[in-house]
Copies of this chain bind each other. A is one copy, B any other.
Amino acid sequence: MPDPVAPVSNLGFAILGLLARRESTGYEVAQRMRQPIGYFWTARHSQIYPELNRLDGAGLVEHEVIDGAGPRPTKRYRITTAGQTALAAWVVGDLEPQPVRDLEVLRLWSIWTVDPDAADDLIGRLEATHQRILDRYLEELAQITDSPGGRDPANPLFASRITLEGGIRSRRTALEWCAWMRTELAAAVR
**Interface of A toward B, CB cutoff 8 Å:** 10, 13-14, 16-17, 20, 36-42, 84, 87-88, 90-92, 95, 97-114, 116, 118-119, 121-122, 125-126, 129, 133, 151-156, 158-160, 162-163, 165-167, 169-170, 172-174, 176-177, 180-181, 184-185, 187-189
Please tell me if the beta carbons of A162 and B188 are within 8 angstroms of each other in the complex.
no
Residues of B within 8 A of A170 (CB): 170, 173-174, 177
* Nearest CB of chain B from residue A56's CB, rounded to whole Å: 19
Please tell me if the beta carbons of B87 and A159 are within 8 angstroms of each other in the complex.
no
Main secondary structure of the interface of A (DSSP, over half): helix
This protein's copies in its complex: 2
Residues of B within 8 A of A91 (CB): 107, 110-111, 113-114, 118, 122
Q: A17-B109, A109-B159, A165-B177 are in contact. List 5 more A-B contacts (CB 8 A).
A: A13-B106, A14-B106, A95-B122, A109-B163, A169-B176
